[in-house]
Structure 1
Amino acid sequence: MARRRPEHPPVPYLLNSQPGPLHGRPLAFAHRGADPRRENTMAAFRRAVELGFRYLEIDVRTAACGTLVVFHDETLERATDGVGALSEHTWEQLAALGVGPDREPLVRFEDLLTTWDDVHLNVDLKDAEAVDEFARLVEEHQAHDRVLAASFNDARRHRVARRLTRSVATSGGWLSTALIVLLGPLGLMHWVQERAATVDCVQVPVSQGPIRVVKPAFIRRCHRAGLQVHVWVVDDPARMHRLLDLGVDGLMTDDAEALAEVMAVRSVWPQR
């Protein structure tokens, strides 16, 4: 039986923090669409949404023409049949490339943002240039409650906040998360909390190198500070169950079917 989750401050993006069918339940995130063969493509996203996912974790990078593209790597070789840095190609050039064996097309962030009005996007801003265009599109489509701005670089999160007329959800970058992991056990969580006041959650791996991050004490510290804990990337059902038993607030996976089955057993599913 999963532990009872504490009450978190209500955040519109985090549907488990406010009244509704997901209140107090763990959230399920489809990491890059949760289909590694065709990651960050509309085919992967549609499949995840059809399975019942309401949260899609995505990455965005800026093309040479300024278009915001849903893509993880700095270069094109691993995931597409193109070569070179994505930032050196225009959207017209990128649109001709294919991902995976079926050559699924790349996706513009704006197209994904406007495909569903009830799907939430966990957006990892992969380059500094992405900040302005991301903020512009969120403003244009009034999508503030449907996006979370994430980045390993905390400065990008702060720049996003300065460019928006109202706030969006955010997760901590490397610095703020490292402070919680390293200084929290020393009794300095109050000091850390003051510096992470604009963060709504931490999104972390189970371990970082030799350091075990997701431990009961870490989860308790985050919850006392009003922060949700989302864990990536978890594909093994047994590990999913163990983490949910510890009280984590969300899981990100590359195996959409596995997480859907676990959530169906333990929580509300589908989440759409």
Structure 2
Amino acid sequence: MKSPRVGKTPFLLNTPHRPLAGFPLAFSHRGFAPAGEENTVKAFTAATELGFGYLETDVHATRDGVLVAFHDEDLVRLTGDPRRVRDCTAAELAELRVAGEPIPTFEELLESFRSARFNVDIKAGPAAELMAETLVRHRAADRVLLGSFNGSRRHMASRLLAADDRTHQLATSPGIIGVGAAVLIGAVAPLPRAVYGSFAALQVPETHGKLRVVTPRFIQRAHDASLQVHVWVVNDAPAMHRLLDMGVDGIMTDAAPTLAAVMSERGHWPQNSLTR
């Protein structure tokens, strides 16, 4: 099967002549958080210690304009606090804990994990502008891939980065573009370049309702468009092996030790030493 591991996307290290050439990528979804400490420095440290070089996270903006790594719109599930992230200042969030761990800023993650690559879901509009500013300030656009369920957030960050004379490939929106791509690529016709031109990868669930998104035909059509296929969230070893045998280019998981073991069995591990 033809592989899309070509192109100039700095984030993707599994392209020819790069450290992970020919390897599928392993993404630790919100870090490795067995005690529920998702999206914390502890969780991402645990993932890198397992061998992960690719980390998935989410970002919101605080009331005073600080980018924080947090998934939910509100704080209830993880901290018990009823407020929304956007209604809190960074100082107020610093007082809260997720399974005993502080909520990190995104800048803290960039500084703490300098050799890691981050796959980031932009969860709110104000976070898009802050993300672009942060990537420029830290010169980190080459190690961050942006996605969002809201396309305007991606496009805003892209425009701001382009205005700074930086190049940055964006991931497709998981879910929205995933389902659309399943129709365009898998069922009807090759994906038009006007649709995929600014994307580096299709990041999709294996299934969406009754629709099977990831199939050999879907992967081939994506590869024909020079797009990688990253599948989320896959947590059992048989499914991981099946998808890798099918030819996907990356897997995101909440079961970090399981994916690490599968990748090791297939000779694709560790990946953290190769992302430096």
The interval holding the TM-score normalised by the smaller chain is: over 0.9
Q: Distance in 1 between matches of 2:151 and 2:214?
A: 21
Correspondences of 1:80-229 after superposition (within 5 Å) = 80-100=79-99, 103-164=100-161, 165=164, 166-173=166-173, 174-191=175-192, 193-229=193-229
Change (3 A) 1:10 1:265: farther
State how far apart, in whole Å, the 2-side matches of 1:241 and 1:4 are: 19
Superposed CA deviations along residues 95-141 of structure 1, whole A, max 9, x for unmatched, are: 111112xx111000011011122100101000001011100010001
Written as runs of structure 1 = structure 2, the 5 A alignment for 1:43-82 is: 43-82=42-81
Deviations 1:168-198, CA, capped at 9 Å, x for gaps: 231112554333211334543243x322200
TM (norm. structure 2) is 0.92
Measured in 1, the distance between the counterparts of 2:151 and 2:189 equals: 20
Can you give the 5+ residue segments of structure 2 that lack an aligned partner in the other structure? none
User: CA distance change for structure 1 residues 7 and 53 in 2, over 3 Å: closer, same or farther?
Assistant: closer
In structure 2, do the counterparts of structure 1 residues 96 and 227 end up closer, same or farther at CA, with 3 Å as the change threshold?
same
Cα distance between partner residues in 1 of 2:254 and 2:265: 19
* Inter-partner Cα distance in structure 2 for 1:271 and 1:125: 25
> Which residue is equivalent to 1:252?
252
TM-score (norm 1): 0.93
Describe the SS at the equivalent of 2:95.
coil
Query: Contact between 1:81 and 1:99, CA under 8 Å: does it hold in 2?
Result: no
Question: How many Å apart are 1:148 and its aligned residue?
Answer: 0.5
How far apart in 1 are the matches of 2:152 and 2:230? 21
**SS at the partner of 2:101?**
coil
Unaligned runs of at least 5 residues, structure 1: none
Alpha-carbon distance in structure 2 between the residues aligned to 1:269 and 1:64: 41
Distance 2:233 2:176 in 1: 20
| CA distance in 1: counterparts of 2:183 and 2:201, whole angstroms | 17
- Percent identity, aligned pairs only, is 44
Is 1:233 the counterpart of 2:240 in the alignment?
Answer: no
Cα distance between partner residues in 1 of 2:8 and 2:265: 26
